[in-house]
Structure 1
């Protein structure tokens, strides 16, 4: 369901009325924006392909279809070939390069999970600032490619009024911010690193992306995904053999 003018889509309001139930949007990103969300990938939630698929009997509401995610991946590939003139980064390229070298999440080709016997190697989750899960994608590649997070963000924006401003907290938010500034329009979007991971980034990066140093973020630290994975830990064994 698409959002009506000035309000969020009903599915978002059902997920978290506190975040999405309002009708006033457009707060400046310099003041914290309107909505804070966080995302993270987890490679423990695998699915064996021998378990097969069950007959379709319900419409997915939490999980993005594979075709939608792959379409974003193709769009990223095309955009890389013809990059737009994005805004100049406020963080030196050397600092971004150091962050990129320090975190595995940046390397989409780095194998984090074995694909032998698995058709899905993990999950990517998007949650609101109250730790309520909004949407998921299945990860079907060995590494945490950027298309999964961008697909979640793109889907979220499709359900928000056009004037809504969003802050996304992600382990390597600095890297994703630089990517999107080159290939997408990001005037309604700001990135920050998660609070725990921020201190592993270069100091020049922290000054811009550390949520504790960003005006308007309050107590949003982006670590709610860790609470989510903790709640889901008992599902890991079950998910491997479920017919999905």
Structure 2
């Protein structure tokens, strides 16, 4: 594959040895990889270039990965895979809550990281191949979802860009309104059976969605069963 045509990723980590290992492995598998040692270098790279994915370390000198991700999510929906030597579930959950699309513990297996990157690229390709029926926006109650830009609109509220996970969960609800969906069903619909997703990750994604939908959001928790989307969408 020509490097000019290869998907371009950014690896942000101050561990030079690990960065060389990850970048070399990904390049050997037909991906173009840029690197940055800290948040300042990351900002400079993002100002110059668009990336299909950012691989971001949690613990870095200066601004840490969570702070970087919070700041990034105010303006950018580029998929982010977070890396961390902190393997506790709470750290993973916090990363997902802030807006990471995936999370891997360090030291990570480069083959697993490659599989996660390919899964993100595959989902992006699937979105691009899906035609919007009649209109690129789906409407439900006071809300509108832009299917191309993946942005929530609501009169009187700021626009809310959605992460990959949030978009997939919301569209799963919109395709199955007023039906109770278990966590396992939502995992299957939103992530696919090849993803390493646990129940709490779905809870986190739905919590983020509710915040972006704002007051009166139509997602209902059905005790001991799962979730239900209370509104029936209309096209156009």
Structure whose residues are more often strand by fraction: 2
Task: Give the TM-score taking structure 1 as reference length.
Answer: 0.27
